[in-house]
Structure 1
Amino acid sequence: MDHAQPKLDFIPPTFNPFVLRMVHLSLPMLQRFRVQPWLPAGISPIETVNGETLVDLYHQFQNNKIRLILAFRHCEVDDPLSGLYLFSRAIPKLARQQGISLQSPIHSHFMYDRGMTIWAGNWLGWLFAQIGGIPVHRGKTLDWQAIKKARELLVNGRFPLTVAPEGATNGHSEVVSPLEPGVAQLAFWCVEDLAKAKRVEQVVVVPINIQYRYINPQWSKLDWLLSKLEADCGLAKSIEVASTEKPEQFYYQRLLRLGEYLLTEMEHFYRHFYHRHFPDLPQSLSREENLTVRLQNLLDLSLQVGEEYFGLKQKGNIIERCRRLEEAGWNYIYREELSNLKSLSSLKRGLADLIAAEASLRMLHMRLVESFVAVTGTYIQEKPCFERFAETSLILFDAIARIKGTRNPRRPRLGWRKSRVTIGEPISVNQRAIAYQQNRQGAKQAVAQLTHDLQIALEKMIV
């Protein structure tokens, strides 16, 4: 982003059933073909587990017995395809099988990152608005416009509300990142808003997990991707795998070598150009443990570069620090006080552009950290399956593409995948609201406990 921009306006949801119908009809094509460079697609079939629970919840919702929050795991950009299939195909079919009459369309409002419209295009903001999406300026500490609209739809909306409790994708089907408190806070606000309106509906949160499996793992495609990454790094290809050797061990060694090389290069980069000091590590660490500790040190120091530029304190976990950096960067680029950039003098416009360009570069450090927020040196070692090899390789692909300056890189497709959507046990919020309403400390603990229980529920659904 080389130029200052006016503030990002809120895009109000304007649900249009015709547009939703078109999206539902196009789903088979969206599953099969890549409609954007950053969408791998290639997903079929989509399996639903415990869908009967969601049928019952939708029936209760449509009969004004409950208000419903769907807490979807969102591990990668393809997840909305599974959600669309769940609403447009799976739930209506299961309802018919059970003899339950549900009003059409089966759908949900949803919250999405306002920043998506920046790198994907304004058309995405229009589409999301037409199908009931609520944009969240994720960098803001509290986006009151989004919160107000979410609370309004939670209480009076025609559909339930879908929220991704992790706040961002982590690229791992089998790792749930620490949850943000937004789902729990919205749930308790909904209880309060219903009470003020003298309504008796119960508030329910249902955890929903999405997990992917490759149907026919194609090691040759993984080999191609690793060869590309090795070429980008200037590394010669490793020795060929012997016909009797397990491919897992061969590709594991290649990924380890790539990871260690990238770490060494990035450590040199920050040491030489940003004057950072990396601590010495104990010799007793295994190769995988060494990789994990070095990566965590690198992420920490990378965030420090951005934090020092924006004058931020090092506070909270990696994800919380990323969000504060994003907020600071957006404030430098999308200037609320500059409503009419054309009225600025050439000098002031030049200075505003300079600040925006510098902020954009500083935010790149945070974007690289985001890519690796869930990566460890032991993830593949713990379970050396093709899926984990593929996930880690694609994360490396994204990171190298960012460093190369590639805009919206075309992610490689490593084969057809099947998606497994699991509906968890509903979590009733009303009884928990008693503690929430006692005092500020009680509210804080209630939010933390509900967030913790939701985290455990999502983790238990991983198979």
Structure 2
Amino acid sequence: MPRLIDSTQPPLKFIPPSFNLLVLQIFGWLLPIILRYRTRPWLPAGIINIEAKNTKVLAELYQQFQAGKIRFLIAFRHPEVEDPLCMLYLLSHIVPKVARQQNISLQHPVHSYFMYDRGMTVWAGNWLGWLFSQIGGVPVRRGRRLDRQAIQTARELFANGQLPIAVAPEGGTNGHSGIVSPLEPGVAQMGFWCVEDLHKANRPETVLIVPIAIQYRYIDPPWSKLDWLLSKLEADSGLPVQSSSQSAIPSREEIYHQRLCRLAEYLIAEMEEFYRRFYHQDIPKTISSDTTSDLDLIARLHQLLDKALQVAEQYFGLQSKGNFIDRCRRLEEAGWNYIYREDLSDINALPPFKRGLADWIAQEADLRMLHMRLVESFVAVTTNYIEQQSTAERFAETTLLIFDMLSRIKDTTLPGRPNLGWKKAKITVGEPISVTERWISSQVDKQAARQAVTDLTKDLQVALEKLIAD
């Protein structure tokens, strides 16, 4: 049984950024060690190498920024939780080194403000909120239609801060180095707001958005550890363990693909019956077959994800509108409103009866949100991700998503992922996109403004997808 919130909580207050250069320097010194041993210091896993491409572009942008010629926002891919650490390493270690090599003069520090999910401090602890505030973080409530304080703070920093600002336009991790999730429009909107703010202040700076891709590779393909992990998942699920070394299939990739599909089909069938029986969802029964295609499995998975979200949406009184990511964001905010009660001035002053009701609602809201957490892990899963490239990385990414799902159900809402081996990160800096050039055409009317945001978001999506395809 997962560990749940058992009582109502005070409101999640905004954590204002309080940039501290000393804290940033200390964190920068420790960063290589943190990247290597972030999770379990005694295991040979972590990121031991970060290589960057087109870094000179970023160094030149910082030089122009520091000269007062431009303002820019870094829009970086967010496949894994290590991404912010890699971005910090890029700015604090690689960019200054490249600048020195290219005789590009930069002032210290080379850093950026950044936006982060306020929910990170819920599961990690208050210390993380303190650390992020000291190194320039701005917390945002992802599910809120308008988190005014976060937006105003970020908007002010973008236009007037001493540093650029970094945002992950996907809004959260998707666990796939090779897939860019649909981008949220906030980054594009921030770009147009910045141009507007500069225009009102009669300032000449050009506003740019810089796409940056991050991808991960294992130093040595972790096939043996994948075998171990699949065996563990099979055992935890109740399936007979099928060791890859004992398979009659000659191709290693085919062996792992078969085991992964077998495990996925079994878990989908079990979860279909779970929602069919206990939540009264209308899910057609499917007869298992050895010839079940990946396409059939994905269709069943997407139907299952839809039903899981409907169970939570029905409880919170929400409509099933938008894609899976949109629906997850709305559910998260609805659950937080039931748990972190802004309508209660002092929860400790409540009479026992009302406090008991408040705790009851918080417990149930957290449990209902678990349906949404399960869906979050699989929003980027497609039919051909592994077929396109049958690499150890893609097998590992998909298997770890299944591990997350099982962990949330049997152990905890914060799964501690197993480390499969040392990794390297590849960071690719794309060509900056000018927002200033698009601003005049966006000022015709409200429809033109909305269309400009949509077009810029699409262009940024294409740019990020091209960077991971190169």
For 1:409 and 1:135, locate their aligned partners in 2 and report how far apart those are by CA, in whole Å: 23
Equivalent pair of 2:231/2:243 in contact (CA under 8 Å): no
SS of residue matched to 1:420? strand
Q: 2:214 aligns with which of 203, 210, 220?
A: 210
Say yes or no: does 1:263 pair with 2:268.
yes
Listed as ranges, the gaps of 5+ residues in structure 1 are none
**Of 380, 384, 389, the match for 1:378:** 384
- 1:121 corresponds to 2:125: yes
Matches within 5 A, 1:253-292: 253-279=258-284, 287-292=293-298
The aligned amino acid for 2:344 is L
Question: What is residue 354 of structure 2 aligned with on the other side?
Answer: 348
Distance 1:30 1:407 in 2: 23
- Following TM superposition, by how much is the alpha carbon of 1:283 offset from its aligned partner in structure 2, in angstroms? 11
1:438 matched to 2:444? The reply is yes
In structure 1, the partner of 2:155 is: 151
Where do 5+ consecutive residues of structure 2 fail to align?
none
Show the counterpart of 1:90: 94
CA distance in 2: counterparts of 1:9 and 1:65, whole angstroms: 35
Aligned equivalents of 1:266, 1:407: Cα separation in 2: 18
SS at match of 1:6: coil
- Work out the CA distance in 2 between the residues paired with 1:215 and 1:440: 50
After superposition, the CA RMSD in angstroms is 1.9
Matches within 5 A, 1:53-452: 53-238=57-242, 240-241=244-245, 245-279=250-284, 287-452=293-458
Distance in 2, matches of 1:429 and 1:263, equals 44
Distance 2:261 2:54 in 1: 38
Question: C-alpha offsets along residues 49-88 of structure 1, whole Å, 9 cap, x if unaligned?
Answer: 0001001111110001011100010111011221121011
How many residues in Structure 1 have an aligned counterpart in Structure 2? 462
Change (3 A) 1:53 1:41: farther
Q: Per-residue deviation at 1:189?
A: 0.4
1:29 CA drift (Å)? 0.8
- Mapped to 2, the partners of 1:282 and 1:4 lie a distance apart of 44
The 1:407–1:281 alpha-carbon spacing in structure 2 relative to 1, beyond 3 Å, is closer
Task: For 2:332, give the aligned amino acid.
Answer: E
Give 1:377 deviation, angstroms: 3.5
| 2:45/2:421 contact within 8 Å kept | no
Determine helix, strand or coil for the equivalent of 2:104: coil
- Structure 1 residues 383 and 289 mapped into 2: Cα distance closer, same or farther (>3 Å)? same
Change in CA separation of 1:462 and 1:370 when aligned onto 2, cut-off 3 Å: same
2:49 maps to a residue whose letter is: P
CA distance in 1, matches of 2:459, 2:266: 39
Q: Which amino acid aligns with 1:186?
A: M
Q: Please report how far the alpha carbon of residue 41 of structure 1 lies from its aligned counterpart in structure 2 after TM superposition.
A: 5.8
**Contact conserved, 1:209 with 1:423, CA < 8 A, in 2?**
yes
Structure 2 Cα separation of the partners of residues 311 and 340 of structure 1: 26
The one-letter code of the counterpart of 1:187 is: G
- Equivalence for 2:467: 461
Instruction: Answer whether contact 2:430 2:467 (CA < 8 A) is retained.
Output: yes
Aligned partner of residue 312 in structure 1, secondary structure: coil
What code does the residue aligned with 2:385 have? Answer: Y
TM-score, normalised on structure 1?
A: 0.97
Distance in 2 between residues matched to 1:375 and 1:215, nearest whole Å: 24
Q: Which residue of 2 aligns with 1:7?
A: 11
CA gap 1:236/1:281 in 2 versus in 1, 3 angstroms: closer
The whole-number CA distance in structure 1 between the counterparts of 2:211 and 2:284 is: 40
